[in-house]
Amino acid sequence: MSKIGKEGTLVKEKLKVRGLRQRWMINSIGPILLCLILTAVLISAGIASSFYNSAQNTLVTKAKTGADYFNTYTMGSYNEYFRTATLYTETFEDSDKIELQFINGSGKIEVSTRGLTAGTTPGTADVSAALEQGEIKPYSGKDPATGQQILSVSSPLKFNGSVVGVMRYVTATRNIDRQILFSVMVIVGISLLIGVLIFVSNLIFIGNVVAPVAAVTEAAKRIASGSYGVQIENKYGDEMGELVDNINHMSQKISQSEKMQTEFISSVSHELRTPLTAINGWGETLVSDESGDIAQLRRGISIILKESRRLTNMVEELLEFSKMEDGRFTLRVEEIDLQAEFEDAIYTYRELFRQDGITLEYECSEEAMDLVPGDPERLKQVFCNVLDNAAKHGGSGKRITASLTEEDGCEVIRIRDYGPGIPTAELPFVKQKFYKGSSKARGSGIGLAVCDEIVRRHNGTFDIGNAEGGGTIVTISLPKEH
């Protein structure tokens, strides 16, 4: 890949990562921040309302209490009322925060804790409402005289049941607004802190997710491009760690499969070349031989037939494997005499083994065995393949034993050779397709895989292991009832 191509790929990866982060931030943090802002606004509005309601209730309480006192004790004459009002304003304790006003029936201020307002007209709705309706009325808004935001409460003063004046409490809302502003700033600060913590924690989280995802993506691309066996360093103990383990396992399996497939192609090519070379060589020899030697002719034809059978067996194995892979591998099940089928294979191979100096011993129960469900052709294929493998890989021991017994509702066949056995590290893989391990014997490496599939289709088990005392033992267990 050129330098420009690599840079382009890196840019694309960065854009993908950035896009993932942006989507996460928008879809995850966006709603949280929106809820946080709404919560802060609602709390701020509630605090503002609470402050104003508290201040208004305080003024209402003072106005009601003061008006009740004046209506009860001081409304006997105007002089008495005016003298008491003047004294009341002079001794008013909250004059630094609240202005106390006494307003006459025409709406003008007669006495006030702030003498400058005496003689003026407040002009607010609470005063006119108290004079006209004879009820305590609050007001919140702008003072017409000063333009400041105020909060006021007017309570009517009555003489002989008629409203003759108003007792009014007024306070500027700037102190309340300061308290509200301070509270809102605290709420905003807390909200910002929470928002920052959420943002940072999500940024760290998505970073911890994006990094391994990018690594897995890169590894998957390398695997897809042919770099089988690539492993990702697993630094995670959660679901991401499990994903990395699965990717590593997949990569390793693909690498093994690719290696076995390559070895299989090489092995099959070699296996096909050898008999074809022998057939071609002896064919050319026989064609060019004009001596008429019958012995030479028989020998050549015998070799040609032997190599042809080997080619036929190999092609049949490949066809069986092809059927296994694409789902066309089927059984023709019927009730069969397993003992007769197995003994037929024993008698077929006994003479062949004898010619190679290998003794084949067979042991079976003298009692007749029950019929079992199975495909006789497929099962005989298994028996012949296992016997052939015993001679091919364990023939150096010059002895092979076979037995057929009934055990726990199954008919069990055991075939053992006395050769070198199978290396322990290779035992878990001997039934895998294409696998040949360290064996130098000729073969395609799919015979045992086909045998395992046939026995599995019969609901049986096909086990291969090393026997005590040396050699390999194959155990085939078939249920008597399907």
455-467 pLDDT, tens digit each: 988 999 999 999 8
- 414 DSSP β-pair partners: 403, 475
Segment 333-351 shows an average pLDDT of 88
How far apart are the C-alpha atoms of 153 and 139, rounded to whole Å? 6
* Least confident residue range of 114-128, 210-224, 368-382, 417-431: 210-224
Confidence band, pLDDT 50/70/90 cuts, at residue 268: low
Segment 430-441 shows an average pLDDT of 67
Q: Which own/partner contact pairs does 360-363 have at CB distance under 8 Å and 24+ positions apart?
A: 360/387, 360/400, 360/401, 360/402, 361/399, 361/400, 361/401, 361/402, 362/401, 362/402, 362/403, 363/401, 363/402, 363/403, 363/404
Q: Name which residue leads in pLDDT, 300 or 232.
A: 300
Confidence band, pLDDT 50/70/90 cuts, at residue 11: very low
pLDDT at 179 over 80: yes
- The DSSP secondary-structure symbol of 321 reads H
Q: Name which residue leads in pLDDT, 357 or 116.
A: 357
pLDDT at 15 over 50: no
Q: What are phi and psi of 312, to 5 degrees?
A: -60, -45
- Please state, in angstroms and as integers, the Cα–Cα distance from residue 277 to each residue in 74, 213, 267, 270, 441, following that order: 138, 53, 15, 10, 18
- 102 DSSP β-pair partners: 111, 167
Beta strands in 131-187 (DSSP E): 137-142, 149-159, 162-172
Q: What is the pLDDT of residues 97-112, one digit of tens each?
A: 888 989 988 888 888 8
pLDDT at position 19 is 64
* Cβ within 8 Å of residue 14, ≥6 positions away: none
pLDDT at 177 over 80: yes
pLDDT at position 116 is 66
pLDDT at 2 over 60: no
pLDDT at 5 over 70: no
Beta strands in 19-117 (DSSP E): 99-104, 109-112
pLDDT at position 442 is 55
Confidence band, pLDDT 50/70/90 cuts, at residue 414: very high
pLDDT at 6 over 50: no
pLDDT at position 10 is 45
pLDDT at position 185 is 92
* Cβ within 8 Å of residue 11, ≥6 positions away: none
Q: Name which residue leads in pLDDT, 324 or 49.
A: 49
pLDDT at position 460 is 92
Distance of CA 435 to the CA centre of its chain: 34
Question: Residue ranges per domain, the chain?
Answer: 1-227, 239-326, 334-479
How far apart are the C-alpha atoms of 61 and 56, rounded to whole Å? 9
* Least confident residue range of 32-36, 58-62, 181-185: 32-36
Segment 63-83 shows an average pLDDT of 83
**Length, in residues, of the chain:** 482
Segment 188-205 shows an average pLDDT of 85
Q: Name which residue leads in pLDDT, 201 or 324.
A: 201
pLDDT at 479 over 70: yes
* Cβ within 8 Å of residue 71, ≥6 positions away: 157, 158
User: What's the CATH fold of domain 1-227?
Assistant: Beta-Lactamase (3.30.450)
Q: Considering the chain, what percentage of its residues have pLDDT values greater than 90? A: 11
Residue 158 near residue 134, CB atoms below 8 Å: yes
pTM value > 0.75: no
pLDDT at position 327 is 66
pLDDT at 474 over 70: yes
Segment 413-430 shows an average pLDDT of 87
Distance of CA 12 to the CA centre of its chain: 24
How far apart are the C-alpha atoms of 199 and 25, rounded to whole Å? 8
The DSSP bridge pattern shows strands 399-407 and 359-364 to be parallel
Segment 172-195 shows an average pLDDT of 89
How far apart are the C-alpha atoms of 52 and 176, rounded to whole Å? 7
- The highest-level CATH class for domain 334-479 is alpha beta
pLDDT at position 263 is 67
Confidence band, pLDDT 50/70/90 cuts, at residue 94: confident
Q: Name which residue leads in pLDDT, 266 or 457.
A: 457
Segment 399-414 shows an average pLDDT of 90
Segment 53-82 shows an average pLDDT of 85
- Please state, in angstroms and as integers, the Cα–Cα distance from residue 212 to each residue in 29, 220, 243, 255, 429, following that order: 21, 12, 10, 22, 32
pLDDT at 158 over 60: yes
- 163 DSSP β-pair partners: 158
Confidence band, pLDDT 50/70/90 cuts, at residue 7: very low
| 1-227 and 239-326: identical CATH topology | no
pLDDT at 324 over 70: no
Average pLDDT value over all residues in the chain: 81
CATH classification code of 239-326? 1.10.287.130
pLDDT at position 415 is 93
Measured between its terminal Cα atoms, the distance across the chain in Å is 58
- Please state, in angstroms and as integers, the Cα–Cα distance from residue 103 to each residue in 95, 118, 167, 193, 433, following that order: 17, 9, 6, 51, 108
Confidence band, pLDDT 50/70/90 cuts, at residue 436: low
Q: Considering the chain, what percentage of its residues have pLDDT values greater than 70? A: 87
* Least confident residue range of 132-146, 191-205, 286-300, 468-482: 286-300
